Amino acid sequence: MKIGYARVSTGLQNLDLQEDSLTSEGCKKIFTDKMSGAKSKRPGLESAMEFAREGDTIVVWRLDRLGRNMQDLITIVNQLNDRGVSFYSIQENITMDKSSSTGQLMFHLFAAFAEFERNLILERSAAGREAARARGRFGGRPEKLTKQDLDLLKTLVDNGTPIKTIAEKWNVSRTTIYRYLNKMEEDNNDRKEKDTN
């Protein structure tokens, strides 16, 4: 049995084109979602996958209707193949079915593309971090406390103010205050060590 899945990104968009194509393709049942593909929970897709039985084929109008990215697409198709369910995309004329040699080839090609996409993202991220470091910027969240805040923090601790009270003043957890104190102590020790060398 052919089972159709159609998705548009917003409620304002229309599913008619996809549904007509899926019906022409011979889909007996069609599931739909009106939401971004970036959402991890897509009730229509989940229902289509639950409904499909071994030997069935899930059909989409275009590949990007099924997965958020190549990795997501591979994961979904893998889940289908594990249950003996095939996958077909009308626009790209791609069938992915591990029981056929062509289907296996397509699956391996898609897996290779997914790996390539992942590596590109990692390379771009590393290059971005390196460029930021070269300009004196470092990753991570900006510090909550300024230099003046840290001076005041040290004074409050030296005067015996409870850590809970200090944390409430800056609206942070006690753990954050302890982390700042530890960092200040480490910095202090580093300075002393440099002075003695």
Angle of helix 163-170 relative to helix 147-158, nearest 10 degrees? 160
Catalytic amino acids? 9
The SS3 assignment for 31 reads strand
Q: Evaluate whether 45 touches 64 at the Cβ level (below 8 Å).
A: no
Helix axes 101-134, 70-82, angle to 10 degrees: 150
Q: Whole-angstrom Cα distance, residue 70 to residue 74?
A: 6
Q: Which two tokens stand for residue 184?
A: 């200040």
Question: 124-133 — which CB contacts under 8 Å span 24+ positions?
Answer: none
Report how far apart, in Å, the C-alpha atoms of 82 and of each of 71, 114, 185 are: 16, 19, 55
